[in-house]
Structure 1
Amino acid sequence: MSDALLTLKGVHTHIGPYHILQGVDLVVPRGGVAVLLGRNGAGKTTTLRTIMGLWQASQGAILFDNAEIQKETTPAIAQREIAFVPEDMGIFTDLTVHENMLLAARSGAIDKERLNWIFGLFPPLKTFWQSAAGNLSGGQKQMLAVARAIIEPRKLLLIDEPTKGLAPAIINAMIAALRELKEMQTTILLVEQNFSMARAVGDTVAVMDDGQIVYSGEMAELADDAELQEKLMGLSLEAHQ
């Protein structure tokens, strides 16, 4: 993780009259998991959406693999092998699990070997392969959302709060999946409120407040410093478990 795959330099984002991101500086090292923490409304989701081009940066630069992408369209950014798993998951509830996955395969066909690997990560998807996605549980829908993002190899995954409201067993499955993706040299930028989850997978961490990065460093350093946690968040991050 010696070099950066993704870098944000002085990024500002306006949504209507609201100035959400106010000079965000963020580095996501290649081949690791970077975690973005912060209170609700701090700008974490806006950061992911701005990287993905869903909202346009009004100022600053976003560099992916040393190329500026802040003016590119979302489809062009996706073509760079960047995938986004939104907080609302964005699955097509009227389509089957199979159909959801097929839509995510850019080549128009699903690689069987990769699909079997995904089934190993998320066994319920194989069980409910021909079932409507709307009939899945919340945890199974989250599995499907992540599986769609990785149905083809990606250089970067942007994942917004994948464990929100999930049972511990599902969270453990998600942790195992993210660790395996990291071993495969997939870089991940993860927004997460569950600090136990964040600490389990994160290599680096950045904390947002009021649209700015107020801290960045190694996850192990923050996890071991209760005083720093309280200073940054106003309460111990252990409360987010």
Structure 2
Amino acid sequence: MSEPLLTLDGVHTHIGHYHILQGVDFSVPRGGLTMLIGRNGAGKTTTMRTIMGLWRASRGAITLDGRDITGLATPDIAQANVAYVPEDMGIFSDLTVRENMILAARDGEPKDDRLRWIFRLFPALEKFWSLEAGALSGGQKQMLAIARAMIEPRKLLLVDEPTKGLAPAIVGALIEAFGELKKTDTTILLVEQNFHFARALGDDVVVMDDGRIVHRGLMADLAADEELQQNLLGLSLEMHQ
């Protein structure tokens, strides 16, 4: 296993009076795609938001590439070359596809070679380049959200449930896109409920339950062990797509 790019060590997060993360410990190997899975309400989104500094850890440490980022503000974490695609996509509906991409580009204008690569992965974005993002379909909006995160080379990409509510054909397109992204130097931590997607792309897997990590291992091993799936998740992943 490669050395970790991201490490969470005993991370606790409180939201109001609620103690959501309760000593979260796991690492994300450099250059791979790690799946973060678990039952609804397990704390997956809170984990992503805590890494990104949107919610502050009340205890513990988060380390990125050897640097403690636990107390950093979200813009500073983004400046460390981390991108986040939230579950609600986070696009600007009143702006065009082009304007959304310009805002995500570091120098205010996407580089031609990077843009061509994204258009190859998501042809609909080129087709609707001048259309307001709010007029896109749900799948196209998700493509735009991911493309915004990919417009610059990233050290770490955090993605929260990219396939939620999408048609199988769109899920297939996202599998292809993330497969291409895995060939780059980007490390990916991805929350996902679609087993087909997780099995196709995941290198490693971390399973959460009730604000704690209950399993770490290879995605292929979990995918092959239905008894382990039942023990950890209360269901077979094959039935949860």
Q: TM-score, normalized by length of structure 1? A: 0.99
Task: Tell me which amino acid in the other structure corresponds to 2:18.
Answer: Y
Tell me which residue corresponds to 2:167: 167
Tell me which residue corresponds to 2:230: 230
2:10 and 2:55 map into 1 onto residues whose CA distance is 16
Tell me which residue corresponds to 2:30: 30
Tell me which residue corresponds to 1:19: 19
2:12 and 2:240 map into 1 onto residues whose CA distance is 28
- CA deviation after TM superposition for structure 1 residue 185, in Å: 2.0
Q: Secondary structure at the match of 1:154?
A: coil
Tell me which residue corresponds to 1:51: 51
Q: Secondary structure at the match of 2:162?
A: coil
Tell me which residue corresponds to 2:221: 221
The superposition leaves residues 93-134 of structure 1 with CA deviations (integer Å, 9 ceiling, x where unpaired) of 010000000011121121011001000010000000000000
1:240 and 1:72 map into 2 onto residues whose CA distance is 36
The superposition leaves residues 187-234 of structure 1 with CA deviations (integer Å, 9 ceiling, x where unpaired) of 100000001100100000011000000000001110100010000011
- CA deviation after TM superposition for structure 1 residue 18, in Å: 0.5
Q: Does 1:42 align with 2:61?
A: no
Task: Tell me which amino acid in the other structure corresponds to 1:66.
Answer: G
Q: Secondary structure at the match of 1:216?
A: strand
Task: Tell me which amino acid in the other structure corresponds to 2:95.
Answer: L
Tell me which residue corresponds to 1:155: 155
1:51 and 1:179 map into 2 onto residues whose CA distance is 24
2:187 and 2:39 map into 1 onto residues whose CA distance is 24
Tell me which residue corresponds to 2:180: 180
1:175 and 1:185 map into 2 onto residues whose CA distance is 17
2:133 and 2:139 map into 1 onto residues whose CA distance is 12
5+ residue gaps, structure 2: none
Q: Does 1:85 align with 2:85?
A: yes
1:66 and 1:84 map into 2 onto residues whose CA distance is 20
Alignment coverage as a number of residue pairs:
241
2:13 and 2:239 map into 1 onto residues whose CA distance is 30
Q: Does 1:105 align with 2:105?
A: yes
1:192 and 1:40 map into 2 onto residues whose CA distance is 11
1:29 and 1:65 map into 2 onto residues whose CA distance is 10
2:49 and 2:240 map into 1 onto residues whose CA distance is 23
Task: Tell me which amino acid in the other structure corresponds to 1:232.
Answer: L
Identity of aligned residues (%): 70
Tell me which residue corresponds to 1:132: 132
Task: Tell me which amino acid in the other structure corresponds to 2:159.
Answer: I
Task: Tell me which amino acid in the other structure corresponds to 2:183.
Answer: E
When the two chains are superposed, the root-mean-square deviation of aligned CA atoms in Å is: 0.7
Task: Tell me which amino acid in the other structure corresponds to 2:77.
Answer: I
Q: TM-score, normalized by length of structure 2? A: 0.99
Q: Secondary structure at the match of 1:71?
A: coil
- CA deviation after TM superposition for structure 1 residue 240, in Å: 1.4
- CA deviation after TM superposition for structure 1 residue 235, in Å: 1.1
Tell me which residue corresponds to 1:73: 73
5+ residue gaps, structure 1: none
The superposition leaves residues 134-186 of structure 1 with CA deviations (integer Å, 9 ceiling, x where unpaired) of 00000000000000001111011000000001011110110111111111121
2:37 and 2:237 map into 1 onto residues whose CA distance is 10
